């Protein structure tokens, strides 16, 4: 008898998340996972590694709360933003019964986490302006525990409209949580929805150190919500989610120096992004450059597959979204270094 048949039916049917790392490729320029091009320098004190760490290291919680302008009771530290997404689903959704709403095309982990936990997925696709279809979502609320929005949206880059979001939050009162995933908010901090938290107890934000802070390898993220929501998540989170070295490095990243480094990195990336998008928009093979609000830009080329292959041949690994509905010929380019952006433009200029 095969071991596989012993696994839960749900798990047997799963296709694992196709992360940029898993898809891989042979390249020397990695622009497929929205990682930062540099990580920074950190010190480690190993004298306490014999002890179990705090479940919620207070110096990390307090530093992030101060940075985000919220209170410590509104915050949960997790193993990346992804663990926050998974915890929300495991805490609020009854397997085999409840649903989440996603608005495709969007970040893949909402659906993966739901599927792994036997929770249903209702897709209410983005409308023609690539905004959430707020009326469509509201119509599904009876049947839904969590609505996942992403702002800036990965991969399209669009920001969720605040007026529509408020309307959804009003409709969701007492019925469902509304999660706004702000993994990329440092690249456009003026658009955070954090100021709505006080008015809407069912609003949840997801944040991470993986993108603007340059620490994807650290696995550290944050869930921001009403203290009642945080209290429920704390019942489900494992006892020692944040390893001691992670807490130490996260605290350094959130110090005044760390925040200054992050803001300088963001300024550099945003500048490179402006230059890249201007040059892309003038290129005859480029049909559309989507809203560039994160550290990436989604581009529709006239012949996406051929261009993706040419880039790969030149050692430049990008992320292909062509198979997603509405994203034919679309490729997402992470903003890397100046040299990496020049390499991308070089390949684009070459005759085929």
Ligand X SMILES: *Cc1c(COP(=O)(O)O)cnc(C)c1O
Considering only residues 70, 150, 205, 254, which one is a binding residue for ligand X as defined by CB under 6 A?
150
The closest of 142, 158, 144 to 106, measured between CA atoms, is 158
The residues, any chain, with a CB within 8 Å of residue 162's CB and separated by 6 or more, are: 193, 196
Burial 4-32 (b: 16+ CB within 10 A, else e): eeeeeeeeeeeeeeeebeeeeeebebbbb
What's the closest the beta carbon of residue 75 comes to ligand X, in angstroms? 15
Does residue 298 belong to the site contacting ligand X (CB under 6 A)?
A: no
Does residue 241 belong to the site contacting ligand X (CB under 6 A)?
A: no
Cα–chain-centroid distance for residue 89? 16
CA distance 114 to 96: 10
Does residue 107 belong to the site contacting ligand X (CB under 6 A)?
A: yes
Residue closer to ligand X, measured from CB, 81 or 105: 81
What's the closest the beta carbon of residue 1 comes to ligand X, in angstroms? 36
Does residue 151 belong to the site contacting ligand X (CB under 6 A)?
A: no
Site size for ligand X, by CB under 6 A?
A: 15
Does an H or E element contain 221, and which?
Answer: strand 221-225
Does residue 205 belong to the site contacting ligand X (CB under 6 A)?
A: no
Rg over alpha carbons for the chain, rounded to the nearest Å, is 20
- What's the farthest any 2 CA atoms get from each other in the chain? 60
How buried is residue 314: exposed, middle or buried, by Cβ count under 10 Å (0-12/13-18/19+)? middle
Residue closer to ligand X, measured from CB, 111 or 348: 111
Does residue 159 belong to the site contacting ligand X (CB under 6 A)?
A: no
Does residue 155 belong to the site contacting ligand X (CB under 6 A)?
A: no
CA distance 25 to 59: 39
Does residue 82 belong to the site contacting ligand X (CB under 6 A)?
A: yes
Considering only residues 98, 181, 329, 340, which one is a binding residue for ligand X as defined by CB under 6 A?
181
Residue closer to ligand X, measured from CB, 132 or 343: 132
Does residue 183 belong to the site contacting ligand X (CB under 6 A)?
A: yes
Does residue 98 belong to the site contacting ligand X (CB under 6 A)?
A: no
Cα–chain-centroid distance for residue 320? 17
Does residue 208 belong to the site contacting ligand X (CB under 6 A)?
A: yes
Residue linked to tokens 């982990």: 109
Return residues touching ligand X (CB under 6 A). Answer: 34, 80-82, 107, 150, 154, 181, 183, 206, 208, 210-211, 216, 221
């Amino acid at each position: 008898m095969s071991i596989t048949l012993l696994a839960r039916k749900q798990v047997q049917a799963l296709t694992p998340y196709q992360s940029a790392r898993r898809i891989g490729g042979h390249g020397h320029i990695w622009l497929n996972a929205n990682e930062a091009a540099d990580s920074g320098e950190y010190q480690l004190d190993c004298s306490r590694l014999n002890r179990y760490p705090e479940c919620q290291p207070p110096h990390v919680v307090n530093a992030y709360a101060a940075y985000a302008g919220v209170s410590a009771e509104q915050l949960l530290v997790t193993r990346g933003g992804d663990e926050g997404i998974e915890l929300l689903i495991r805490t609020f959704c009854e397997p085999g019964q409840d649903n989440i709403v996603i608005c495709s095309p969007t970040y893949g982990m909402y659906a993966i986490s739901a599927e792994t936990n036997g929770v249903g997925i209702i897709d209410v696709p983005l409308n023609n302006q690539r905004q959430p279809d707020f009326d469509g979502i509201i119509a599904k609320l009876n049947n839904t525990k969590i609505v996942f929005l992403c702002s800036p949206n990965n991969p399209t880059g669009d920001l969720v409209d605040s007026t529509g979001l408020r309307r959804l939050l009003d409709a969701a009162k007492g019925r469902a949580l509304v999660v706004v995933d702000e993994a990329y908010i440092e690249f456009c901090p003026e658009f955070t929805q954090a100021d709505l938290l006080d008015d809407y107890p069912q609003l949840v934000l997801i944040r991470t150190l993986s993108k603007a802070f340059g620490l994807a390898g650290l696995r550290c993220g944050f869930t921001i919500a009403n203290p009642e929501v945080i209290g429920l998540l704390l019942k489900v989170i494992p006892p020692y989610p944040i390893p001691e070295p992670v807490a130490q490095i996260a605290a350094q990243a959130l110090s005044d120096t760390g925040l200054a480094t992050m803001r300088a990195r963001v300024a550099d990336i945003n500048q490179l992004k402006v230059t890249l998008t201007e040059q892309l928009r003038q290129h005859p093979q480029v049909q559309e450059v989507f809203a560039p609000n994160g550290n990436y830009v989604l581009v529709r080329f006239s012949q996406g597959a051929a261009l993706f292959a040419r880039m790969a041949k030149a050692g430049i690994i990008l992320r292909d979204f062509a198979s997603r509905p509405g994203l034919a010929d679309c490729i997402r380019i992470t903003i890397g270094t100046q040299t990496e952006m020049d390499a991308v433009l070089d390949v684009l200029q070459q005759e085929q």
